Structure 1
Amino acid sequence: MQKNDANFTPIFDGKTLTGWHFVPRLPVPRAPGEPGPDPTTEKYKRAAQTCGKWTVEDGAITGRQDPPGSGYGGYLLSDGLYGDFELIFEAHPDWPADTGILVRTSALGSQGFQILLDHRRSGNIGGIYGNGIGGFHGISFTLDATYDEQGNPEGLRLEDPSTTIEPLTPDKPALLDYAADGEQFLSIWKWNDWNTFKIRVEGASPRITVHINDMKITEMNTADLKHPFYDATKVLELLGPKGHIAFEIHDNDPGMGEARWAPNAACRWRNIRIWELSQPGNEPNI
């Protein structure tokens, strides 16, 4: 327990999905004002038919594709809307499971600032992605798994750049005001276990700071973010000063298939609590 835990409010009761609702993982424009997807396509229609499978198991929200191996995901959204806050929770993803935590999210779930939890090949954990708000990709390392003699994953390692399917180009870390390196991240990440995330969101176009297991991993100021498809004014008009918190179950795709989300994979979240920064000086220590 942290010394400020009494100031945080639980937003998950550990037993039910009361206070949360799920929506499909529908395609959206890359950025506000760009053309949207064609809702008459079979892909769009199929995606609209599932929201993923969300259950509460052993005190944790658990997300899976529905049906398992279908390749289609969804979002679980908080009923509440939140502006400036610090969010704390524990996460436990299977391998591979491509998920994330979205903040300042629209009612669609697909539009918001995503803190990455891409627990799969060429993935990143703790970086920040512009989901439907420009597609910016603020990361400083990519990951892969180590495997035992039977071919079972047994831990994380830094990815070999020569075999990556998502190159770590110089523009990606340049988006971040602070970035831990991959070796620092690996020193604190707990494989096949619970890891504690702290996400601070503050400002109309927010400054977002991510800690994992008490280590600062990333910081990004989206008010002055420079990216070809990101416009802070248009994003603020789209999202407003408050939004939902969302957890993601990713779709699969032709390029990665089940390497993005394994047929029986799940991600789990528990001990979800929030401190709303509504009054001057009412701020947690991070």
Structure 2
Amino acid sequence: MGFEPLFNGKDLTGWSVIPRSYGTLWPGGPDVHDVVTDFPQDYAEQAALHPAAWSVENGAIVGRQQPLGSGYGGYLISDETFGDFELSLELNPDWPADTGVMLHRRRDSWHGLQVLVDHRHSGSIGGFFGNGLGSFHAVPFALTARFDSAGNAIGLREDDPATSAEPFTPEKAAMLDYAAPVEDFLATWNWLGWNSLRIRCIGERPHVTTWINDVKIAEIDLATLEAPNYDADAVADFLGPSGHIALEVHDNDPVLGTRRWAPDAACRWRNLTIKRL
């Protein structure tokens, strides 16, 4: 069986809009809102009212905050679920725009494995975050922008630990079975243009590999991963053998604010295809 389209290029048939939400930090663990106390008290209510704006423009899915600059995000989630697969898509994020592609995502909560597309200060692209799976941050490098003399962002460079908002550490790369050198990524990334992302996801405790523009970026094995508060058996039982795919518009937070998602930012996705394995 070959690749089949996940997006028809015309409308959002096969996808549903859901608000951004949080939940337990790991299966059976404490709720995010009980640990991180700087969320607004009415966060859930406001998030439900502002689930991000999703549209189709020039053959691409476009995600923005709703309304622009609201600070609340959301997801576009596949109606179908998938177990083993290879996913191929193209994406074009503004700067800054913190987004990602979620795998084995539960529809009723935030839990799932996220392939990061943190196109913002101290972000990482092609690595992984365990949403509600222990919040592990397994990334090969961290990035920030290069600026011209007028202060305009003109490209990406390696993040500087001295000024980082989310410092890269060797422990983050050690969680990966493969971590690309940052130079490999920077040599292939097309600034403010279209880039291809390919994701291979295999197994009930998924082994996941990512490529950007056909350059291998990262590889993780959730069967053997060792990370704080991560339990492979508990996560596998909780998520099950398959789940949804979701695209993200991130919310803002007190740490990064509009450096996480600019008020007028958007991310675009096109040519989404999937091959069931």
Question: Which category describes the TM-score, using the shorter chain as reference length?
Answer: over 0.9
1:284 equivalent in structure 2: none
**C-alpha contact (below 8 Å) 1:208/1:219 kept by paired residues:** yes
- Summarize deviations over 1:197-250 as a string: whole Å, max 9, x none: 110000010000001101100001110110111111111122110100000011
The correspondence of residues 165-180 of structure 1 with structure 2, limited to 5 A, is 165-180=165-180
Give 1:20's match in structure 2, choosing from 15, 33, 41: 15
CA distance in 2, matches of 1:34, 1:47: 22
CA distance in 2, matches of 1:182, 1:53: 33
Instruction: Indicate whether 1:32 and 2:32 are aligned.
Output: no
2:63 equivalent in structure 1: 63
What one-letter code is carried by the residue in structure 2 that aligns with 1:31? W
CA distance in 1, matches of 2:44, 2:271: 34
**C-alpha contact (below 8 Å) 1:158/1:182 kept by paired residues:** yes
- Summarize deviations over 1:21-77 as a string: whole Å, max 9, x none: 011111211111013247993122212222100000010000000010010000100
Instruction: Indicate whether 1:154 and 2:127 are aligned.
Output: no
What one-letter code is carried by the residue in structure 1 that aligns with 2:8? D
**TM-score, scaled to structure 1:** 0.92
1:82 equivalent in structure 2: 82
- Summarize deviations over 1:81-126 as a string: whole Å, max 9, x none: 0000000000000000000000000003621110000000000000
CA distance in 1, matches of 2:181, 2:109: 29
**C-alpha contact (below 8 Å) 2:140/2:217 kept by paired residues:** no
Structure 2: unaligned runs, 5 residues or longer:
none
Instruction: Indicate whether 1:214 and 2:214 are aligned.
Output: yes
Q: Which moved more, 1:143-152 or 1:64-73?
A: 143-152
CA distance in 2, matches of 1:140, 1:85: 23
Q: Which moved more, 1:236-245 or 1:147-156?
A: 147-156
Partner SS for 2:174: helix
1:267 equivalent in structure 2: 267
Q: Which moved more, 1:59-68 or 1:46-55?
A: 46-55
**C-alpha contact (below 8 Å) 1:121/1:145 kept by paired residues:** yes
CA distance in 2, matches of 1:248, 1:158: 24
1:231 equivalent in structure 2: 231
What one-letter code is carried by the residue in structure 2 that aligns with 1:197? L
Percent identity between the aligned chains?
53
**C-alpha contact (below 8 Å) 1:25/1:109 kept by paired residues:** no
**C-alpha contact (below 8 Å) 2:23/2:109 kept by paired residues:** no
Two-structure CA RMSD over aligned residues (Å) = 1.4
**C-alpha contact (below 8 Å) 1:29/1:132 kept by paired residues:** yes
**C-alpha contact (below 8 Å) 2:64/2:265 kept by paired residues:** yes
1:8 equivalent in structure 2: 3
Partner SS for 1:66: coil
**TM-score, scaled to structure 2:** 0.95
User: Which structure 1 residue ranges, 4+ long, deviate > 4 Å from structure 2?
Assistant: none
The correspondence of residues 46-57 of structure 1 with structure 2, limited to 5 A, is 46-57=46-57
What one-letter code is carried by the residue in structure 2 that aligns with 1:14? G
Partner SS for 1:7: coil
